[in-house]
Amino acid sequence: MEPDQQPGAAAGPEEPAAGQAEAAAPPPPQQASGAPDDAEGAAGLGDSQEEGSEEEEETEGYGSEEEDGPDSLLLISQRQVLKSIHEASTNMGAAFCVGGSLGRLPISLAVAPPLPGAAGETEAGTPGASGSSTSSRARQAVVVTFPDGGQADVEALQEACVPATFGRGTEEVLDESYRQALAVPASRLFTQLDLAAHGGVLEAVRRLLLPDAALLTVQLHTLNVYGPGGFFRGHRDTPRGNPRFVGSLVLCLPVAHMGGGLRVRHGGRSVVYEWGAGAAAGEVQWAAFFSDCLHEVLPVESGARVTLSWELFAHPADAVARMPAHLASLSGGAGRLVQALRAALDSKDFLVNGGALGFACQHAYPKSLLADVKAKDVPAMLKGEDATLLHALNAVGVLYRLVRVWQEPEDEMCGVDSDEDEWPPRGKYDPAFKALRVSRIGPSILSAPGDDKMGWAHDDPTGWLECTMGARFDTDTIWLGGEESFPDWTMGATHRFIRANCPTFVEEFYCAIGIVANIPPFADRPSMGSMAWAGQEGAAAAPSPSASPSASPPHKKSKLEQAVG
């Protein structure tokens, strides 16, 4: 159990992202008030004032902190270069949510009664869910129209709902201290509203959040009614077995209410969508966001907040045309990153013999994305800053690869005294020590935790890394900002996020991804005009530059690395 991700402990800041608090907010989405909050400061970076003995600390996380003795001028200079790239790469302020209004629009819904004993229906005996309210529930389909139906239709709808549950660990639970709402799963819901037919909505979401995707599709997930006092505390929506799952879209029906703002957070920024006034005036309003972003429904003060929610899936074009589109979309923070990268590549102080430079992705991704989507299609699924980072690398002609990254705790006994017969080895997961493990995207990815026959994987997902063929300790990459710069480490190792009223709960979780840029030796770096070998490593037209990781500032092996590999 990771307390900062579990229901009941969501008050903590979700993202110790370096420097994000100062990032310029994106243009505030329509109908929203944007305000930076939960500022975290620049973890591991310090501010721009650097002097004498503080140097070591100021540039921690740039590849040489494990060195003994005084640093050479070259190392100091290189750390400055790395720091400037890192700052530029984590201050891009990419959009993470978008919202708008369809204007005044009547919405009709039909809600079928639950099938008696239907498996997965929250009222039908799902573990942890209440089964007590079945008797008073409508036995016939309920048809409602808003705004015309008014209070009578709200009550009829409430009668057709069940208490909204959510996934916690492997269970679907009802916990009114975490979520107080009513729900109807999509399986019982029919509406005339075809979101895909409102072309502007999905296109706006695609352009703002996923410009590299050729197409977004949606799947209706649930209807929720939040009455007075209703709320849903901070959570992330679980990816459930579809690797193309990128986001959630919530649409508020024209039913009067006050309160109930939808707050979405990412990287120290947050946006609140307040729909009460518009809904009272008959407007149908919506918001879409990356589902790995922490979000919550603030308490409803009066009336009924009725929402439909869809899952969003991103699809790549057959061939993602890179350069023209990417150059066209380089702006603001991305431009600064391109500048920092160009300056670095032009400098002999920067990895003169070449090396691997790792960037932590700022969003998390479904585990199955990396297992099931072809590497060439993955860029179309990248979100916000992560997509922009690839554009910037493409723009400066640097090859990269996408890797999964896990945090690996170590125990002193690891690999030395532990009993090889014991599985998983006892004491191996002491959180006091952390190392990075990476894996290329590819088929040799973790199997689902549930696949493990030995029964321990559910409780100790870190453990099943041990039997993963594709994972290896990363001794070569200089990870900018170190492990601190991953937005939430627990995503990488263990988490199954909660999802509202999920009738067929499939165990899934987010994972952390890193982008490792292959910096060629100085002598081999292309002139900035040449884009010939930009893109993913291994791409057909990409001659591989002969980067020599060992020539980067020597990267001392951690205790764990020494012990294991």
Residues binding ligand AKG (CB under 6 A): 222, 224, 232, 237, 250, 262, 295, 297, 307, 309, 500
Task: Please tell me the distance from the alpha carbon of residue 330 to that of residue 517, in angstroms, as a whole number.
Answer: 18
Interface map 475-514 toward Fe ion (x if CB under 5 A):
----------------------------------------
Q: Provide, rounded to whole angstroms, the least separation between the CB of residue 77 and Fe ion.
A: 46
Residue 518 binds which entry of Fe ion, ligand AKG, none, with Cβ cut-offs from 5 to 8 Å by kind?
A: none
Q: Give 43 or 271: the residue with its C-beta nearer to Fe ion.
A: 271
Residue type, 497: F
Q: Please pick, from the candidates 153, 237, 408, 474, the single residue that binds Fe ion as defined by CB under 5 A.
A: 237
464 binds, among Fe ion, ligand AKG, none (CB under 5 to 8 A by kind): none
Angle between helices 73-90 and 384-395 (to 10 degrees): 130
In the complex, the smallest distance separating the C-beta of residue 360 from Fe ion, rounded to whole angstroms, is: 24
224 binds, among ligand AKG, Fe ion, none (CB under 5 to 8 A by kind): ligand AKG
Tokens standing for residue 107: 């919405």
Q: How far are the Cα atoms of 239, 250, 523 from residue 14, in angstroms, in the given order?
A: 18, 21, 42
User: Which CB atom, from 91 or from 222, has the smaller least distance to Fe ion?
Assistant: 222
Dist CA 442 CA 163 (whole Å): 40
Compute the least distance from the CB of residue 237 to Fe ion, in Å: 4
Which contiguous run of DSSP H or E holds residue 302? strand 300-303
Per-residue H/E/C for 225-242: EECCCCEEEEECCCCCCC
Phi, psi of 315 (to 5 degrees): -125, 135
Cα(149)–Cα(112) distance, integer angstroms? 18
> Quick one: which of 406, 411, 392, 388 has its CA closest to 509?
406
At its nearest, how many Å lie between ligand AKG and the CB of residue 257? Answer: 12
- Segment contacting Fe ion by CB under 5 A, of 157-165, 207-215, 235-243, 341-349: 235-243
212 or 274: whose CB is closer to Fe ion? 274
Tell me which of ligand AKG, Fe ion, none is bound by residue 307, counting a contact when its beta carbon lies within the kind-specific cut-off of 5 to 8 angstroms.
ligand AKG
Q: How far is the CB of 226 from ligand AKG (least distance, A)?
A: 7
- Closest residue to bound Fe ion by CB: 237
Cα–Cα distance for residue pair 127/173, rounded to 1 Å: 7
- Min dist. Cβ of residue 275 to ligand AKG (A): 9
Closest separation between CB of residue 430 and ligand AKG, Å? Answer: 35
Closer residue to ligand AKG in complex, CB, 80/224: 224
| 58/292 with CB nearer ligand AKG | 292
Closest C-alpha among 352, 384, 421 to residue 98: 384
Applying CB under 5 A, which part among 151-159, 212-220, 229-237, 532-540 lies near Fe ion?
229-237
Which structure tokens are listed for 384? 């916000």
- In angstroms, the CA 19 to CA 36 distance is 12
What minimum distance in Å lies between the beta carbon of 561 and ligand AKG? 40
User: From ligand AKG, Fe ion, none, which one binds at residue 297 (CB under 5 to 8 Å depending on kind)?
Assistant: ligand AKG
In the complex, which residue's CB is closest to ligand AKG?
500
CB of 261 to ligand AKG, least distance (A): 9
Closest-CA residue to 322 (of 393, 394, 387): 394
Q: Report in angstroms the alpha-carbon separations of 145 from 114, 336, 362, 387, 469.
A: 20, 50, 41, 40, 55
**Binding segment toward Fe ion, per CB under 5 A, in 78-86, 232-240, 266-274, 385-393:** 232-240
444: tokens are 């040799």
Residue 490 Cβ vs ligand AKG, minimum distance, rounded to whole Å: 19
Q: Is residue 379 within 8 Å of 212, Cβ to Cβ?
A: yes
Nearer to ligand AKG, 265 or 295 (CB): 295
- Which residue in 198, 179, 256 sits closest to 499, CA to CA? 179
User: How far is residue 231 from each of residues 213, 304, 499, 538, measured CA to CA in Å?
Assistant: 33, 11, 14, 48
Distance in Å, CB of 209 to Fe ion, minimum? 16
Question: Looking at the DSSP assignment, which residues form a beta bridge with residue 145?
Answer: 108
What distance in Å separates the CA atoms of residue 544 and residue 15, rounded to the nearest whole number?
A: 35
State which residue, 307 or 494, has the beta carbon closest to ligand AKG: 307
Q: Shortest CA distance to 17 belongs to which of 81, 109, 92?
A: 92
Terminal Cα distance for the chain, rounded = 29
| Least CB distance to ligand AKG at residue 239 (A) | 12
The answer for residues whose C-beta is within 8 angstroms of residue 328's C-beta and 6 or more apart is: none
552 binds, among Fe ion, ligand AKG, none (CB under 5 to 8 A by kind): none
Q: Which is nearer to Fe ion, 237 or 283 (CB)?
A: 237
CB nearer to ligand AKG: give 313 or 489.
313
For ligand AKG, give the closer residue by CB, 87 or 121.
121
Nearest approach, Cβ of 262 to ligand AKG (angstroms)?
A: 4
Sole window of 54-62, 230-238, 528-536, 557-565 interacting with Fe ion (rule: CB under 5 A): 230-238
Measure the CA–CA gap between 491 and 171, rounded to whole angstroms.
18
> Among candidates 402, 393, 389, 485, which has minimal Cα distance to 438?
402
Give phi and psi for 36, each to the nearest 5.
Answer: -65, 135
Sign for the pseudo-dihedral over CA of 201, 366, 44, 50: negative
Residue closer to Fe ion, measured from CB, 149 or 167 = 167
Residue 329 token pair = 């979309």
* Binding partner selected for residue 360 from Fe ion, ligand AKG, none, CB under the kind-specific 5 to 8 Å limit: none
Residue 513 interacts with, from ligand AKG, Fe ion, none (CB under 5-8 Å by kind) = none
Q: How far from 47 is each of 44, 50, 263, 364, CA to CA, in Å?
A: 9, 8, 29, 27
The partner in contact with residue 486, picked from ligand AKG, Fe ion, none with C-beta cut-offs of 5 to 8 angstroms by kind, is none
Q: Which is nearer to Fe ion, 212 or 237 (CB)?
A: 237
Which of Fe ion, ligand AKG, none lies near 250, with the C-beta cut-off 5 to 8 A by kind?
ligand AKG
Q: Between 222 and 388, whose beta carbon lies closer to ligand AKG?
A: 222
Q: Footprint of Fe ion on this chain (CB under 5 A)?
A: 237
